[in-house]
Amino acid sequence: MSRRSNYDRAVKIRAAVLEQFGEPLVVQELELAGPRAGEVLVRLTACGVCHTDMYTASGADPSGYAPTVLGHEGAGIVEAIGEGVRSLVPGDHVVTLFSPQCRECIHCLSPRTNLCLAIREQQNKGYLPDGTTRLSRDGEPIRHFMGTSTFSEYTVMPEIALAKVDSEASLEAACLFACGLSTGLGAAMFTAQVQSGSTCVVFGAGLVGLGAVAGCRLQEAERIISVDLSDERLALARRQGATDCWRADGQVVERVLDQTGGLGADYTFEATGLVAVMREAVESARMGWGLCTIAGVAGKGETLEVVPRLLITGRRICGSSFGGVKGRDQVPELVQRYLGGEIDVAPLISHRMGLEDVNRAFELMHAQDGIRSVLALGS
């Protein structure tokens, strides 16, 4: 595919399509139209396979739709730009953002949230900002997923949903900053804003939990306790900066209280999506000022029960979407810290495979085999 600016004719691409919920994705040929005003054509080179993709494919997500091209943890190279695009040019290396940043809406202008409002309505329906799609098959539209659709050789996305990163960064490593790694890092650095010398407990040592451990380390926490069922994952947490690694045994709350004079940890983080673990994270937070940050996504219809007295005595609970990261501004900064050696990405990539193996990546995730599978896309 050339870098010519006029893409009036759709081009053929290979992509993994969710045809029916609960069924394997089908890798097939689709048509991709070129970028319109404010849009960018990206040649994708790497994409992580995230739990959100599997959750949607299963049919458990009540907001899911099909057919669609899944994938949202992508990185690649700009091939062409539409009219009005000013921040990117062909050849730029980019990370895809399911959480865009227009830099103009009331949320983007506020330091209190990263939830951009600019294209949210159409994005949630599977469309680009103008209410249409660029993906099609035999003339029938195929909807976009999370505004990204990165299980594909190429994608068209809004300019405001792409973060330009240093071309020296490995795109295989950079794609993890598109979702899981940034979510964990940001939960500690931007949502909770962990203070130096603090005691932190991170429940879960998947990619988000390991990112939270690394974020606590970068914030100079004094004690970082990682909790998980897997010894292998706890070993990875140690490598990311955990000072203590505990097996999840149902006694973690009591152990935290015992080792903090009965008060609890300054900061706790939940990164499993299990409401029972969320409750443990709340109960482990310090009396007086403990902050529990929920980064995991619970199942449909599940609720978190909290004893009100825990809140009356000073504990707080907050949620964290994409770690509170303002993508276009802060993802490049996080990638720069990776390039500077402060964030160790290599051990987080457990499996490498091609687009045709995407269903195998789901199987590995379901078996909790490794941290992240990364798809190599295109040439």
Candidate list 51, 93, 286, 328, residue with the active-site label:
51
User: What's the token pair of residue 227?
Assistant: 């909790």
Tell me the pairing of strands 199-203 and 162-165: unpaired
Q: State the burial class of residue 67 (Cβ atoms within 10 Å of its Cβ: 0-12, 13-18, 19+).
A: middle
Candidate list 93, 96, 144, 179, residue with the active-site label:
179
> Among this protein's residues, is 72 annotated catalytic?
yes
Q: Indicate the SS3 state at residue 346.
A: helix
Query: 238 with 226: CB under 8 angstroms?
Result: yes
Candidate list 39, 43, 116, 279, residue with the active-site label:
116
Closest to 206 in 3D by CA, of 236, 239, 177, 172 = 236
Rounded to 5 degrees, φ, ψ at 68 are: -155, 160
Candidate list 103, 105, 107, 143, residue with the active-site label:
105
Candidate list 45, 47, 52, 270, residue with the active-site label:
52
Helix-, strand-, coil-residue percentages of the chain, each rounded to 5: 30, 25, 45
Candidate list 144, 217, 315, 372, residue with the active-site label:
372
> Among this protein's residues, is 120 annotated catalytic?
yes
Candidate list 43, 45, 50, 175, residue with the active-site label:
50
> Among this protein's residues, is 19 annotated catalytic?
no
> Among this protein's residues, is 245 annotated catalytic?
no
> Among this protein's residues, is 217 annotated catalytic?
no
Half-sphere exposure of 219 (CA within 13 A, CB side): 28
CB atoms within 10 A of CB 298: 16
Candidate list 103, 107, 120, 352, residue with the active-site label:
120
> Among this protein's residues, is 200 annotated catalytic?
no
Question: In whole angstroms, what separates CA 244 from the centre of its chain?
Answer: 25
Bridge partners of residue 69, in order along the sequence = 17, 144
Candidate list 45, 47, 96, 102, residue with the active-site label:
102
> Among this protein's residues, is 52 annotated catalytic?
yes
Q: In whole angstroms, give the CA distance from residue 147 to residue 69.
A: 10
Q: In whole angstroms, give the CA distance from residue 284 to residue 278.
A: 10
Query: 289 with 266: CB under 8 angstroms?
Result: yes
The residue type found at 94 is V
Rounded to 5 degrees, φ, ψ at 52 are: -60, -40
Candidate list 72, 93, 144, 286, residue with the active-site label:
72
Candidate list 73, 153, 159, 283, residue with the active-site label:
73
Q: Indicate the SS3 state at residue 140.
A: strand
Q: In whole angstroms, give the CA distance from residue 164 to residue 40.
A: 12
The residues, any chain, with a CB within 8 Å of residue 249's CB and separated by 6 or more, are none
Candidate list 39, 45, 47, 108, residue with the active-site label:
108
**Residues recognised as catalytic:** 50-52, 72-73, 102, 105, 108, 116, 120, 179, 372
